[in-house]
Amino acid sequence: ATPTALLVGTGRGAQLGILIKGPEVLESTRRVDTIVLDKTGTVTTGRMSLSEVHVADGVDEAEMLRYAGAVEHPSEHPIAKAIADGARERLGELPTATDFRNTAGLGVSGLVNGTAVLAGRAAFLADWNVSVDDRLALAKTAAEDQGATAVFVAWDGVARGVLAVSDTIKPTSAQAVSELRALGLRPILLTGDNEGAARAVAEAAGIPEVIAEVLPEDKVAAVGRLQQEGRTVAMVGDGVNDAAALAQADLGLSMGTGTDAAIEAGDLTLVRGDLRAAVDAIRLSRRTLGTIR
């Protein structure tokens, strides 16, 4: 490709809301055959809300929610914000948690009114040997089958409640996925979230393949495995936990609405956070490089 053609392509990208780190990026864009899509904040809006509250036998709902809101309050995670906001809307001021600790991709812990509280997914509770009664186990499965993320709340070694947190798919995601497939790309949904929620989102967006329950540090390995299979992989993501995978991918596309870490790691930024700009980027690179071959 001539430098002039690449520069023109880069300029055209900016008009389309695609910021390209360097002219050579267009070359990698053209070769891509697989596109890995992060779920939360990329395919979905990432704006989550607390949709259901379930308690174990004998547990006071307000107390459980107060502990959950307090322990999630210091976290930046969209799930945590939904829980803290939902608790505050229902209960008013929340107690302050101390000794807060975030375990990426699993959950949070902290001391609330002298009690050690955990909030997170099933695997997080299992690490702490927390027991879960049948009622809560059923509530979790039901929430996940509807596409929600179930968060367990536990203290003193026993799960006390399940909170369902729901997110909605972006209105443009399904169209973008269908156009990516029409361009011959294989879309794959990659998420740390549970299999049920991942499948529900994948189905709504028309994504045929799902890799779910992947810990943040394992997203890189998932991209690497596809590359070992001989695929040329683009990754689209928005979170801190996507940064390494964005760097590992042959082409990293970050959501302009996402975190700085993701934007720095990407080769290309979709300014408006609209997946359709990924389609524009691929068309643009094919056109730019196609004319000069």
Binding residues (CB under 6 A) for ligand ADP: these are: 38-40, 72, 75, 77, 79-80, 105-108, 119-121, 149, 151, 191-193, 216, 239, 241
Per partner kind, with CB cut-offs from 5 to 8 A, the member of ligand ADP, Mg ion, none near residue 259 is none
Residue 19 or 197 having the CB closest to ligand ADP: 197
C-alpha 83/C-alpha 81 separation (Å) is 5
Min separation Cβ 285 and Mg ion, Å: 24
Maximum distance among all Cα pairs of the chain, rounded to whole angstroms: 72
Q: Is 38 a catalytic residue?
A: yes
Min separation Cβ 7 and ligand ADP, Å: 35
- Site for Mg ion contains 254 (CB under 5 A): no
C-alpha 49/C-alpha 175 separation (Å) is 25
Per partner kind, with CB cut-offs from 5 to 8 A, the member of Mg ion, ligand ADP, none near residue 105 is ligand ADP
C-alpha 199/C-alpha 202 separation (Å) is 5
Residue 42 or 288 having the CB closest to ligand ADP: 42
x/- letters, 205..244, toward Mg ion (CB under 5 A): ---------------------------------xx-----
164 to 136, 157, 213: CA distances (angstroms): 11, 21, 17
DSSP 96: P
Catalytic option among 38, 242, 267, 280: 38
Neighbours of 289 (CB within 10 A): 18
- Read off φ and ψ for residue 198, nearest 5 degrees: -65, -45
- Site for Mg ion contains 38 (CB under 5 A): yes
Structure tokens at 90: 């229902």
Amino acid at 91: L
Active site residues: 38
Residues that bind Mg ion (CB under 5 A): 38, 40-41, 238-239
